[in-house]
Amino acid sequence: MVEGLEMICFQIISNVGTARSNYIEAIHRAKERDFEGAQQCLEAGQAEFLKGHDAHFELLQKEAKGMPVVGSLILIHAEDQLMSAEGFKIIAEEMIAGYRQMEALEKRLEQLEK
């Protein structure tokens, strides 16, 4: 069994949880038309996600070297959180693009009404 497995799992959960929070904040900022703030949140989220992803990759490397990574509920939870955060990133990027489009269309409409 991999030594420190629980700590690695908690590291993954912590990092990707922070990433997911950043992605959600990015959506909120885009809704308020703060696209610069939204981009900063996406970038901060990506940095945290990569930390969690790297910790997960560390487990994969250990298993590839013959150190068995025994499945546990905490590992399953960590992997679930990792995938959830990745999904939130995709959703955030799509929503931000949608808000940008809405803003551009609203500006065009305002110009046509003048």
More confident residue, 90 or 70: 90
**53 has catalytic annotation:** no
Write out the DSSP string of 72-100.
Answer: -HHHHHHHHHHHHHHHHHHHHHHHHHHHH
Residue identified by tokens 């700590």 is: 7
pLDDT of residue 101 exceeding 70, the answer is: yes
Averaged over 88-108, what is the pLDDT? 97
Query: Strand, helix or coil at 23?
Result: helix
What residues contact 76, with CB distance under 8 A and at least 6 apart? none
The tally of CA atoms less than 13 A away on the side-chain side of residue 22 is 21
Q: Spot the catalytic one: 28, 53, 56, 77.
A: 77
Q: Which CATH number fits domain 4-113: 1.10.760.10, 1.20.58.80, 3.40.50.1820, 1.10.520.10?
A: 1.20.58.80
Residues 16-54 pLDDT 10s: 999 999 999 999 999 999 999 999 999 999 999 999 999
pLDDT tens digits, one per residue of 50-87: 999 999 999 999 889 988 888 788 999 999 999 999 99
